[in-house]
Amino acid sequence: MNRDSSHFFLLNMGHFFDHFFTLIFATVAALALSREWGLGYAELLGYATPGFFAFGLFALPAGWLADHWNRDGMMVVFFTGIGLSSMAAGFAGTPMQMGVALFVIGIFGAIYHPVGLAIVTTTWKNTGMRIAVNGVWGNLGVASAALVAGYFIDHGGWRAGFVIPGAVSVVLGVVYAWLRWPTLSAATVRRGPVQAEAGTAPSASAKAMLFRVSAIVFITAAISSIVFQSTTFALPKIFDERLQGIAGSMAEAWKTGGGAGKSDVATMVGMFAFVVFAIASLAQLVAGKLLDHYGPRSIFMGAAVIQIVFFAAMPGLQEGLALAVAFGFMLGAFGQIPINDFLIGKMASGQYRARIYAIRYVVSFTVLAATLPFVAVVYNQWGFDTLFRVLAGLALLILIAVACLPRALPAQTPAGASA
């Protein structure tokens, strides 16, 4: 693997860990802490909420620092900071200590999206496919959080699910610093943005298109964040309630040597969530390939229609049918993820790209954080069936907004990009 491939691999690992660390608590809360700490699932969600607000709000200063200092330097800060704060979460003894640790995880996690995506879109060609591949890694992080946390709950305790991956992330930070040392050692604080691209002033029509696309990007990003957070955070709990028969049967089938297979139900629930997330995340590869060839409008609309259909079908389903329909709506949810980032990469100049990504993720993750109390209220008052109906309505709003996108965007190649 050459340095260019290694760089892209580490950026992908960064996206993996970014989502992994922010969602470990989702499985731990659903399957362990509600019993160990004697708190309800909805109450535990409150301790995670500040961390998700930090995940969004700190994206803006992270993007600003990246543009004025050094993007690779910010990636080193990301790997080491999120790893150390995850290890701290593993030693939390009270809900308040856990909440503080999750808040710090959110601060460091905020670095990745404005910085990592800016690097991806300014370093390589085939932007749609690169973003899609990077997105798959992020969603494998979502999937693996449930699997790894579920495994450690059954084998060694939930604390190891925070501590061991945290140590791995710190090591990756050291490796990233070694790989990118030439750019890190040359980094100095600048009074203007780095990696500026020359270009002519946009025409009035181009400005109008930029405004139109930007409005749609931010509107759909906000709505999509509600859908994404509701599904990825709640899915372990949904499966815990609706797949107990399948999970128990598989745990029994896997037991060996007279062991108590029922003790592995958490592992089975985590595995189901992992399989759904992992397979559904492959939709991003399809979306990325299609984006480079056909543009975003039709692909975005297709993803929205898929979500409408499967969210509307989910209420009342149990066991195998619930699992199958969950595959469907997660295919739509994951398939639309690279589209907004593709639009920003096409429309934003390189010198401001990190900050524009930062604004996009401030919007996305602030809404995402506010989604947790929303999910808690809906779950406590009406249950998950009502949540699915609400999500179907939100997907319909996305479809309406996307129908207003222009059919074609101006072509733009990143300066200095490589294949």
Confidence of residue 393 (pLDDT cuts 50, 70, 90): very high
Domain residue extents for the chain: 3-182+204-402
Tell me what pLDDT residue 195 has: 44
Confidence of residue 380 (pLDDT cuts 50, 70, 90): confident
Question: If one looks up domain 3-182+204-402 in CATH, what number appears?
Answer: 1.20.1250.20
Tell me what pLDDT residue 402 has: 85
Which residues make Cβ contacts (< 8 Å) with residue 264, sequence separation at least 6?
A: 154, 251, 254, 255
Q: How far is CA 211 from the centre of its chain?
A: 26
Least confident of 19-28, 93-102, 209-218, 300-309: 209-218
Given a cut of 70, is residue 395 above it in pLDDT?
yes
Q: Full-prediction pTM beyond 0.85?
A: no
Given a cut of 70, is residue 1 above it in pLDDT?
no
Tell me what pLDDT residue 78 has: 95
Given a cut of 60, is residue 351 above it in pLDDT?
no
Report the alpha-carbon distance of residue 287 to residue 295 in Å, rounded. Answer: 10
Confidence of residue 200 (pLDDT cuts 50, 70, 90): low
Given a cut of 50, is residue 210 above it in pLDDT?
yes
Confidence of residue 91 (pLDDT cuts 50, 70, 90): very high
Per the model's pLDDT, the better-predicted residue between 375 and 352 turns out to be 375
What are 221-249's pLDDT values in tens digits? 888 888 887 887 788 788 888 887 777 77
Highest mean pLDDT among 115-119, 188-192, 201-205: 115-119
Least confident of 60-69, 105-114, 162-171, 181-190: 181-190
